[in-house]
Amino acid sequence: MPYSTREKKQALVRVRRIGGQLDALAQALQQETDCGAVLQQIAAIRGAVNGLMGEVLESHLRASFAPRAVKPRGAADAVALEQTITLLRTYLK
């Protein structure tokens, strides 16, 4: 779950955009649009969903593993967190 107000707004904007893409896909299917265009729309939706998942996952990782005042973590942990986020973003593309 996105934690900050800004992250929540961004996630909701992405969800609404995905909803619009799904509506366009449904309309394309009803109008028997060319398969190539339908497949392109499906790929765009998949990319949008993966982007949303990446944003939410990054937010979760940062909230879960970010340095805390109570139990400070070292620079190595911060680097490991950034590497993990980069790896996951690469995987989700």
For the stretch 12-52, pLDDT in tens is 999 999 999 999 999 999 999 999 999 999 999 999 998 89
pTM score, two decimals?
0.72
In tens, the pLDDT along 54-84 reads 888 888 777 777 666 545 566 777 787 788 8
| Nearest alpha carbon to residue 45 among 29, 32, 62, 61 | 29
Q: Which residues are CB-neighbours of 2 under 8 A, at least 6 positions away? A: 8, 10, 11, 55, 56, 59
pLDDT at 72: 57
| Nearest alpha carbon to residue 77 among 90, 92, 67 | 67
Which tokens go with 15? 């969800």
Is the per-residue pLDDT at 8 higher than 60?
yes
